[in-house]
A = this chain, B = another copy of it.
């Protein structure tokens, strides 16, 4: 968290990962981000992982530092309030972020009629308006069929990588559009398709060109690096590690640190490749891996750590989520990235802020996610200027709800 964008206000209608992550990124930069949800929460409100009481750790994770407003979006009066909040005046306000189908009155034309310079950022599935989510976009991307051992069995990523890319792209697009508005007074509608985020990345990484130019695509090669040397190895104590030699320097360090330099040099002669090149190491990867595998299998993870310390070898152990959280000091409040936060309804645990240090914007503690509806009354009062009596009437008539759900 910092205060770099503290003069911005973003109103978010969202669910799941992408738009919530984009909005939360802004909130962690200090922007006022108001997530407006239907009464009872949106479709992601109970998404797993959850606590034993069914409270979503996922929702808490993706909505930190936001304000929460709960409105009856199925009623005209609820939608009118949402529209009024979204289109409220103020130089840093009038920015709307969504990955949901627009409700009546919350489309760009309606919002722009209320505020001419409004910026609306919309993430959709496919460009033609059809549905797509991370799982379907990933299936289409080509990656699952080269992940894991291959053989025609697709392996899906577990990290929602396309949603993450889309969320961070949205944050960039938001700042680009806001910069344009600050210079020209013009708002705009910005539309991104999740499928296009995937397609752009497949192209950026060279895979579209590979098929067009070479008529082929990279194969599935398990955990091997494509086009260089890198592979996972088992240790004597049943751990796994990645060892990588992308650069000549890393390659030479690996030979030195393992004492296998002479044997590895024989691989070059045996396989008739230049091991100083990435392509040479890739072609000879099985021959390189054989002595390394024996070396790793004879040592514990701790012994390997000692052997590689300060050596210039590029490597790292695999760890599961429990090992990451319990044993890796980077994943604790010892890392300034994390703050111990008391999350309402859940408890205290370390929550990450922005993965940046800005020298001109001191890091502030991570703030928790709101309770659903926690800021309904405050937002209606501060932004719409509603009197207490009117707010009470809206509660009584079921148009708005506070953190008690009513």
Chain A residues near B (Cβ < 8 Å): 4-5, 17, 21, 24-25, 29, 43, 46-52, 54, 56-62, 64, 108, 126-127, 131-133, 135-137, 139-148, 152-161, 164-165, 168-169, 171-173, 175-180, 184, 186-193, 195-197, 199-214, 216-218, 223, 225-228, 230, 232, 238, 240-242, 244, 246-247, 277-279, 282, 314-326, 328, 330-331, 335, 337-338, 343, 346-347, 349-361
Contacts and interface: CB of A to CB of B under 8 A. Distances in A.
Given A140-B328, A199-B331, 8 more contacts: A5-B176, A47-B227, A147-B157, A168-B168, A190-B357, A208-B352, A211-B326, A217-B321
A147 to B, nearest CB: 5
A140 B317 contact: yes
Please give the count of copies of this chain that the complex contains.
2
Given A168-B172, A360-B187, A48 B135 contact: no
Contacts of A159: 141, 143, 157, 161, 201, 205
Nearest to A208: B325
Contacts of A360: 177, 180, 184, 186-188
Contacts of A326: 211
Contacts of A52: 214
Contacts of A144: 223, 318
Given A48-B278, A158-B146, A278-B48, A349 B244 contact: no
Nearest to A52: B214
Contact of A142 (B242, B315, B320): B320
A351 B212 CA distance: 11
A226 B168 CA distance: 23
B355 A197 contact: yes
A317 to B, nearest CB: 6
Contact of A352 (B57, B147, B152, B203): B203
A194 to B, nearest CB: 9
B192 A355 contact: yes
3 residue pairs, one from A and one from B, having the closest CB atoms: A48-B227, A136-B316, A217-B321
A5 B182 CA distance: 12
Contact of A232 (B29, B154, B184): B154
B214 A51 contact: yes
B51 A201 contact: no
Contact of A206 (B60, B148, B168, B331): B60
A157 B168 contact: no
A175 B175 contact: yes
Nearest to A360: B188
Contacts of A62: 204-206
A196 B358 contact: no
